Structure 1
Amino acid sequence: MATPHLFAAWQKLSTKIVGVLLSFLAVALMVIGSTLFLSWQLEGSAAAINVTGSLRMNSYRLSFVVGELADPDGRAAARDEARYQVAAIEQTLQQLRQGDPQRPLFLPPSSTIRDAFATVNQRWHDTLQPAAQALLARDDVRAADAHNFHTQAERFVVQVNGLVQLIEQDSEQRTFWLRASQLLLLALAMVGTVSIIYLMFNLIVNPVTSLQEGMERMREQDFEVRLPVDTQDEFGQLAQGFNLMADNLQGLYGNLEQLVKTKTAALEDQNRELALLYDSAAFLQQPQPAESLCDGFMKRISAYFHADGGSVRVLDPIRGNLHMLVHHGISDQLVKTEHCLKVGDCLCGEAVAKKIAVVHDLRRIDDNHTLQCHRDGFVTVSVFHIYAQRQHLGFFNLHFRKPVSFNQRETALLETLGQLLGTAIENQRLAAREREMAISEERNLVAQGLHDSIAQGLNFLNLQVQMLDQSVQARQFEDVAEIVPLLRTGVEESYQDVRELLHNFRTRLEQGNLVASLETTIDKFQRQSGIEAVLEADSDGAPFPREQQLQLLFIVQEALSNVRKHAMASRVEVRLQDQYDFVLTISDNGAGFDTESLPGKGESHVGIHIMRERAQRIHAQLAVSSVVGGGTTVTLRLPRQQRRAA
């Protein structure tokens, strides 16, 4: 089971290179090791030759010293020297017998040399050493005995010479093998270098060159080039990948024109979709009635999808009715039949009940032509829903006289268009509700203004008329004379209040400029009341939206009206500071009043409630400060974070 894995591992380029290098390394280490071993042996043999050669010198020296034992005068010194030489020879033989690997010193491992050394050692111990010790033990040594020992020493030296020659012959042979090993190492280095260069060329250089040539041909758009796959290593896999890339590029360039046409068509479709979305969004943002909105919407999507007819229906969630708002391309009979559907009726009502977009093929679901749209010649009817903030508002149909299907992109486009139409319809409804709320709020303010001015004046006149009637019936003409001027004054005040209210209700901003409108209002106030009025404006802030400017103007008018009616002032100052926060103050030098008694007089007192409601509309803060005999100041502050952009 492991054989395929081993084979696959050997196919790798890295495995091949490492294997070859390790093989050469193993052979080189073997040859170098043998060379070192031979050198070590030669060094030990050379030391053995030197030590063995010293036996001859020691033997000759011992023979000479033994000859001097015959001379009585030098016998003592000769005996000591002879003992020293005997010990030296014994020590030398012991070294040769045991060897010394560290020096190194040893006899070559040859049986001939070992036998020759054994003979020399035996002759020394059996013959020469006993003879020398015997002569050293005697007190007198004759010349014949010394000559006899000399003869034996000569024979011992001859054997030692034979041993030295054998060691030298062995050293010569080992020297020959050492030279041969060195030559083999040199040859191995040359062969290894050539082999590695050859292998590198075959394993790396040639595949890289082939790949480079293929890339050059590929750069020249020769997509028919293919690389030979001779191995299963990394370069073989690279060649396979190159060939696969060449196949893909050849296929791509072969189909490039078709791909360009396909991509161009896809981009054109996307551009048409974007153009439809932009056009529809811009159209739906325009202020117009719902019928015009839906009619323009249907014309655009019908032209885009080449629909033969279409309609838009809105949902009445309370009664569950679907009313046809606009239509085109469908018969009057179909309009009459389906101008109002119930949720769940017919195919369209079922789609509304399920809240899913569907495309019906009428040929498959209405074989007997029971549906009016099928009888009118339509083959395909699609239903797409109109949503706004997840609120279902209705749906729109597209009718086709030919079989039509929508892909995923077209379905998403129609659903997006349905959401755009739903948002536009819902925005119209919200705008209508906002206008209705604004009118209602303004009517409340008008009612409060009438109550604060006209209603109170008429109530005063009613009381005076009753008193006048009683005085006339009682013939109290003195009281009548007092009541009539009061009635005339009350009527005049009510008339002035009506004129002021009419003037305020007709107030318009002059080109959206708050300061200019304030100047006009203050100038009219000064001419009508005769009270000096001054405007100080420091306006560096961004312009207000018109609705906020109008409320600010109404607040100033109401404050000036209170000054005219109640303050008995001779001067009014209006200050406008529009820096970080907007601050508007209206100050007079009139009679003033006690602000602590203000809550007990009701919200309608001197129009303060109206000013506060208008301030709340624009999220501003209104404060009234007054001192009896020291005038009144109305301050309105609008923080920057509550200020809307114009």
Structure 2
Amino acid sequence: MNATAGTVPAYPPIPGHLRLSSRIAGALVGFLLLALAAIGATLWLSWQLEGAGAAINETGSLRKQEYRLAMLLGREVHTPGAGFDGAARAQVAAIDATLALVAQGDPQRPLGLPPTAAIRDSFDTMSAQWQREVRPLALHVLEARGEQRVLVLRHFLGVLDPYVDRIDGVVRLIESDNEVRTFWLRSSQLALMALAMGGTVALVYLMFSLIVRPVERLHAGMRSMADTDFGVRLEVDSKDEFGQLATGFNQMADRLERLYGSLEEKVRDKTAALEHKNRELALLYDSAAFLQARQTLEPMCEGFLDRILRYFGADGGSVRLTEPAGEKVHLVVQRGLPEEMVQAEHCMPLGDCLCGEAALVQQPAVHWLQPTTDAADASPCVRSGFGTVAVFQIFAQDQHLGVFSLHLRSKRHFDEREQALLETLGRLLGTAIENMRLAAREREMAISEERNMVARGLHDSIAQGLNFLNLQVQMLDDSLRQGQQQEAADIVPALRAGVKESYEDVRELLQNFRSRLEEDDLNSALRKAVRKFRDQTGIEACFQAEGTGKLPFSREEQLQILFIVQEALSNIRKHAQADSVSVRVSEEQDFSLSISDNGVGFDAFVESGIEDRRVGLHIMQERAAHINAELAIESRPGLGTTIRLHVAHGQRRAV
């Protein structure tokens, strides 16, 4: 059965006994069982031969033990009291032990009589003769006295030779049985060799018939297929996996033969689809690159609209944004719309016309317009001659910002792929608009924050100085009214000093506000600030930098650190009465800055309420918090002041 294009053929399940794996596994298991049986028989025969060999040795040793017993009895008879009695009795016990060992066997050595009735009967007869006749005579020789000993010994010797002959008979029977078993062992080994050779041949034939031959047929079919011979078919002669492979190969050949006939048409279709995809990607890339550029709202919307109009071949279009209150839709840019329509829809409520309706429901919509003879009831788009109006949403994340529309004079269908493309473009435009708004808000916040900083600086320094001058002027006016010339003359130096102090404060604030980093090098800017402080005040000041920073600071953070140093130097000039200042920077994993002077110092706890001495400290604390830094002030009366700024490695932000 041939599978139709685009469908997967269903193959019937293979019976268990016909599966290739089952047949191969069955053959291997059968061969393994035969091999194990042959090996087991060989091992059993060799075990029996080894046990019988040990039995021959032990039984044969009885002859030596019997003759040794006879020798010991003879010495005991002829030389009584020489100690041969105990040796003879020990020899009797050894013969008993040997007979018991051979009779019982020892599987660990191994040792055992062959399991035949003749050998077992002969051995039992020999053992019984020892127990009934030979052993009692040997013990009687040891127990007799005088001339009777010699007579008993002669009788024992007369019985011993036939008994040894019986032992020889048992040994010969065991040896004869061993010869038979050796023959069977050799035969089983030869059979095992034959089984190995036959099994190898059988397995090779089995593998060749089950695997090699079908694979060769498949390989030959694939080579023919590679030569564009799509008429080749394989013979299905089995119901196993290779049979299904052959069936699948034939089905694949059928399908390839059909596909090859319509290959040119499919190539054209695929090429057109790829070109369409490339155009979509080019539009997305061009739009994303254009929207990322820094620009104002109208040029950005105009460029966006021009791109989608050119891509879709639309006759007109517009971009409309909803106001924050969400009640009206404002026309930002348009292309190809009549002036009357632009004036009428420049700002319209949500729900009016097609664009307003789409903005209200926040869903894309494609409208096919029908011309009408009644111009009064016709919509502005119909009156303008448009046949299709497509409206799509502008989103930034989940926030709805507005809509954009495409106007075409003919009827046009937008498929799912084109609608998805337009929705993606709407989200790109929404993200760009939202980023522009966020950037504007960030600039406003930065300007507002800096203005607040300037206002605090003016209020905390210059305003207090002017307040002091105002009080002095009032006192001068009162003194002149009262004619106290000396008191008025004493006030004039204080006024002059206050004016000079305020002038220097204004000049220093202006200098700080105008501070800029000439290059992206914080240490150079700090060194320049310290040198300017030394030149203006005449106070000995030095700058020292150690280490190499692991992470750079942004320019905003560098400016804040520069302002902190300038504020600290200003406080030293006004309050410290110092003649030596040291500024040190240490840049490793963490950033550390210290400004030390040898001035009069102060007690932070006692003077916490004296605001005129702590104005600069408040400003420095605020700037340090702005860059996530820690600011510590160490000061004691008469011991100078040290200000330490520390920025941890985790708080340092890369440029």
Change (3 A) 1:365 1:526: farther
2:370 is equivalent to residue 357 of structure 1 = no
Question: Structure 1 residue 493 and structure 2 residue 501: aligned?
Answer: yes
* 1:260-302 Cα deviation digits (max 9, x unpaired): 2222222222222222222211211111111111111111121
Larger CA deviation: 543-552 vs 235-244: 235-244
In structure 1, C-alpha distance between the alignment counterparts of 2:515 and 2:209, rounded to whole Å: 100
The residue aligned with 1:405 is 413
1:255, distance to aligned residue in structure 2 (A):
2.2
- C-alpha distance in 2, partners of 1:604/1:332? 68
Q: Is the CA contact 2:351–2:357 (under 8 Å) kept in the aligned structure 1?
A: yes
Larger C-alpha radius of gyration, 1 or 2? 1
When residues 577 and 389 of structure 1 are mapped into structure 2, their CA distance, relative to the original with a 3 A threshold, is: same
Distance 1:637 1:236, change over 3 A: closer
Match of 1:644 in 2: 653
Letter aligned with residue 292 of structure 1: P
Q: Match for residue 570 of structure 1?
A: 579
Q: Deviations over 1:329-359 (max 9, x none)?
A: 1111111111112112222222122111111
- Deviation track 1:18-73 (CA, whole Å, cap 9, x = no partner) reads 9xx9xxxxxxxxxxxxxxxxxxxxxxxxxxxxxxxxxxxxxxxxxxxxxxxxxxxx
1:578-635 per-position Cα deviation (integer Å, ceiling 9, x unaligned) = 1111111111111110011243335982311111111111111111110101111111
Change (3 A) 1:365 1:277: farther
307, 327, 331: which one aligns with 2:338 = 331
Counterpart of 2:275?
A: 268
How far apart are 1:238 and its partner, in Å? Answer: 4.8
Report what 1:309 is aligned to. 316
Specify the SS of the correspondent of 2:401.
strand
Distance verdict in 2 for CA 1:413–1:634, change over 3 Å: same
TM-score, length basis structure 1: 0.66
Counterpart of 1:428, as a letter, is M
Of 247, 259, 264, the residue aligned with 1:252 is 259
Asked if the contact 2:395/2:426 (under 8 Å) is kept, the reply is yes
> What is the alpha-carbon distance in structure 1 between the residues aligned to residue 19 and residue 304 of structure 2?
70
| Residue 249 to residue 500, structure 1, CA distance change in 2 (3 Å) | same
2:450 to 436, 442, 451: 442
Amino acid at match of 2:385: G
Could you say which residue in structure 1 is the equivalent of 2:596? Answer: 587
Return the alpha-carbon distance in structure 2 between the equivalents of residues 311 and 346 of structure 1. Answer: 13
The aligned counterpart of 2:517 is 509
Alpha-carbon shift at residue 223 of structure 1 (Å):
0.8
Q: Aligned ranges for residues 418-437 of structure 1 at < 5 Å? A: 418-437=426-445
Aligned: 1:219 with 2:212? no
Q: Is 1:534 matched up with 2:537?
A: no
Q: 1:522 aligns to what?
A: 530
* Distance (Å, rounded) in 2 between the aligned partners of 1:236 and 1:518: 85
Q: What is the one-letter code of the residue matched to 1:336?
A: Q
CA offset at residue 414 of structure 1?
A: 1.3
Q: Do residues 282 (structure 1) and 289 (structure 2) align?
A: yes
Q: 2:570 aligns with which of 531, 549, 561?
A: 561
Which runs of 5 or more residues in structure 2 are unaligned?
A: 1-12, 27-205
Read off the aligned partner of 1:501 and give its amino acid letter: L
Q: TM-score, normalised by structure 2?
A: 0.66
Identity fraction in percent: 58
Cα offsets for 1:457-507 (capped at 9, x unmatched): 111111111110110011000101100111111111111111111111111
What is the match of residue 473 of structure 2? 465
State how far apart, in whole Å, the 1-side matches of 2:312 and 2:540 are: 71
For 1:91-170, list aligned pairs within 5 A.
none
Partner Cα separation in structure 2 for residue 205 and residue 529 of structure 1:
100
Q: 2:561 matched to 1:552?
A: yes
Q: What residue identity is the alignment partner of 1:332?
A: E
When residues 404 and 606 of structure 1 are mapped into structure 2, their CA distance, relative to the original with a 3 A threshold, is: same
Hey, what's the Cα distance between the residues in 2 that align with 1:488 and 1:209?
113
Residue in 1 aligned with 2:150?
none
| Partner SS state of residue 609, structure 2 | helix
1:344 to 351, 356, 364: 351
Q: CA deviation at 1:535?
A: 0.6
**C-alpha contact 1:321 1:340 (8 A) present in aligned 2:** yes
Deviations 1:512-568 (A, max 9, x none): 221111122122211211111111112511321110011111111111111111111
Answer whether contact 1:12 1:234 (CA < 8 A) is retained.
no
Aligned with 1:637: secondary structure? strand
Q: Are the equivalent residues in 2 in contact too, given 1:343–1:353 (CA < 8 A)?
A: yes
2:479–2:485 CA contact under 8 A, matched in 1: yes
Q: Residue type matched to 2:552 in 1?
A: P
**2:378 matches 1:370:** yes
The SS at the match of 2:518 is coil
Preserved CA contact (<8 Å) 1:452 1:605: no
Q: 1:292 aligns with which of 281, 296, 299?
A: 299
Asked whether the equivalents of residues 534 and 540 of structure 2 are also in contact (C-alpha less than 8 Å), the reply is yes
Q: Deviations over 1:411-456 (max 9, x none)?
A: 2211111111111111111111111111111111111111122111
Q: Which residue of 2 aligns with 1:318?
A: 325
Question: Cα distance 1:427–1:9, how it changes in 2: closer, same or farther (>3 A)?
Answer: closer
What SS is found at the alignment partner of 2:472?
Answer: helix
Displacement of 1:210: 6.5
Moved more, 250-259 or 318-327: 250-259
Residue range with higher mean Cα deviation, 288-297 or 234-243: 234-243
In structure 2, which of residues 404, 409, 416 is the aligned counterpart of residue 396 of structure 1? Answer: 404
Letter of the aligned partner of 1:431 in structure 2?
A
Residue 480 (1) aligns with residue 494 (2): no
* Inter-partner Cα distance in structure 2 for 1:11 and 1:451: 96
Note the residue ranges of structure 1 that are not aligned, 5 or more in a row: 1-7, 22-198
Contact 1:572 1:588 in 2 (8 A): yes
Which amino acid in 2 is paired with 1:225? V
Paired residue secondary structure (2:605): helix
Give the RMSD, CA atoms, in angstroms.
3.4
2:633 maps to a residue whose letter is: V
Q: Which amino acid aligns with 1:340?
A: C
Is this contact kept in 2: 1:11–1:233, CA < 8 A? no
Moved more, 218-227 or 558-567: 218-227
1:226 Cα deviation from its structure 2 partner: 3.3
The 3 A distance-change label for structure 1 pair 414 and 598 is farther
Instruction: Find the aligned partners of 2:540 and 2:581 in 1 and give their Cα distance.
Output: 6
Q: Distance in 2 between matches of 1:399 and 1:224?
A: 54
Change (3 A) 1:237 1:452: closer
Determine the C-alpha separation between the residues in 2 that align with 1:488 and 1:204.
Answer: 113
Q: Tell me which amino acid in the other structure corresponds to 1:270.
A: K
Matched, 1:596 2:605: yes
Q: Is the 8 A contact 2:525 2:562 kept in 1?
A: yes
Q: Distance in 1 between matches of 2:215 and 2:501?
A: 110
**1:241 counterpart residue number:** 248
